Amino acid sequence: MINIRDKLQAEAVNKYFNKGIYFLCPRFGKVKTTFLLCEKNNWNNIKVLAPRKDIFEGWKNDKEKFNFNGEIEFCTFTSLKKEKPCQKDLIVIDEIQEASIAQLKEINRVISNFNCVALSGTMTNKTQDNIFYTTQMSVCHKYSIEEGVEDNILADYTINIHYVDLDKENKYIKTSKGFVSEDKKYNQLIWLKDKMTKEKKPTFFIDLKIINLLQNSLAKQNKTKELLKLNKNKRVLVFCGTTETADNLDIPVYHSKTKEKDIFTSFCSGEGNHLATIKMMQSGVTILPISLGIINYMSGNPEDSAQKICRFLGIEYNNLNKKAEIHIICSNTEFEKKRMETALMFFSKNKIQ
């Protein structure tokens, strides 16, 4: 019996042309679709390019899971300068949306005139344009997050945005004139940003300081702790913007400074209630069961935001009525509110409260 995912994957295979992008929602089965494409064309020798080595583990596991008998070589985007044009049946570019312009130029050199397929679950129009102008690759088949929810490939969801005022009580941020509250520091930075804008000067470094302030906001940490307390008996994954914030939540953490793999694997397999992380669990990771998430800091990048949220939308066959509950902590500032508008562009406005 053919299920809906099998049917959709077969449709995607039929839409491929020799340099195409599969723009397919998370959980669609992009790796399996690639293997089906190889089987259809009798391609047995492929090379996978990806931004991070951890993605390759998923390919190795799926190779065994789906009995793909071909040979697979791997290369990260940062190692492409050492690569010659690939003499392979198929070149796969996984998570192509993460490639910089310089890396896209290297990808274009390596793929040359060979058969090539790129994979992505989240791409803005700007990213698609950058890819096309640099590599001449365009989308050959698209399947959105909302289509995935409708077809039960992804779980239904609600997104709850909690607006909090920046802390005015605690003077813990050091300045040249002493210590100030995060609210006062934010106002100082915004004043400087507005001044530089009027003078037609770049504000990039001021923006970074504002972002760092919001990522480490005490008010947002306190709101996160409040939500964790309300859900102390539920499994909750928390995404933070910095390791300092993750460490201050008084729950188990997994990030680049801890490297405690056991904490990570145990939580993914269903052990423990709470875990805080940053970006290391965004893509290529299955966490079961999980339906409740807190995002302490959301960047303005919709691709990054969608990767975070989709970690919670996996279908669980022992909980077919699952509805993911996402809580986003946002400061009550115009700077972060504006970024939130673009961050959630891949999600239905009807499901955002």
Q: Which of 307, 305, 306, 275 is nearest to 290 (CA)?
A: 275
Burial, 307: exposed, middle or buried (Cβ in 10 Å; 0-12, 13-18, 19+)? buried
Tell me the average pLDDT across 2-21: 92
Amino acid identity, residue 169? Answer: E
Is the fold of 4-146 the same as that of 156-166+215-351? yes
Superfamily for the 156-166+215-351 domain:
P-loop containing nucleotide triphosphate hydrolases (3.40.50.300)
More confident residue, 53 or 9: 9
| Residue 2 binned pLDDT confidence (cut-offs 50, 70, 90) | low
3-state secondary structure of 62: helix
- CA–CA dist 242, 278 (Å, integer): 7
| Residue 284 binned pLDDT confidence (cut-offs 50, 70, 90) | low
- CA–CA dist 157, 353 (Å, integer): 11
- CA–CA dist 187, 310 (Å, integer): 34
- The whole-number pLDDT of residue 273 equals 95
Q: Which of 135, 129, 132 is nearest to 113 (CA)?
A: 135
Percent of the chain with pLDDT over 90: 78
Strand order in the sheet with 19-24: 71-76, 45-50, 90-94, 116-120, 19-24, 138-143
Tell me the average pLDDT across 305-326: 89
Amino acid identity, residue 327? Answer: H
pLDDT at 83 over 90: no
- The whole-number pLDDT of residue 8 equals 96
Tell me the average pLDDT across 23-45: 95
89-103, 186-200, 286-300 — which is least confidently predicted? 286-300
Amino acid identity, residue 286? Answer: T
Instruction: Give pLDDT tens digits for 127-152.
Output: 999 999 999 999 999 999 999 999 99
Tell me the average pLDDT across 113-130: 93
Q: CA 46 → CA 43, 78, 157, distances in Å?
A: 7, 19, 36
Alpha helix positions (H), 101-217: 101-111, 125-135, 145-150, 182-198, 204-215
Instruction: Give pLDDT tens digits for 161-217.
Output: 999 999 999 999 988 888 999 999 999 999 999 999 999 999 999 999 999 999 999
Instruction: Give pLDDT tens digits for 63-82.
Output: 999 999 999 999 999 999 98
Q: CA 145 → CA 123, 148, 174, 316, distances in Å?
A: 12, 5, 43, 17
Domain residue extents for the chain: 4-146, 156-166+215-351
- The whole-number pLDDT of residue 190 equals 97
69-78, 256-265, 286-295 — which is least confidently predicted? 256-265
pLDDT at 1 over 50: no
Q: How many CB atoms lie within 10 A of CB 142?
A: 16
Q: CA 4 → CA 153, 203, 288, distances in Å?
A: 8, 49, 22
Q: Which of 157, 173, 99, 96 is nearest to 295 (CA)?
A: 157
Topology of domain 4-146, per CATH?
Rossmann fold (3.40.50)
Query: Model's pTM, two decimal places?
Result: 0.88
- The β-bridge relationship of strands 19-24 and 178-180 is unpaired
pLDDT at 328 over 70: yes
Torsion, Cα 260 266 272 275, to 10 degrees, reads: 40
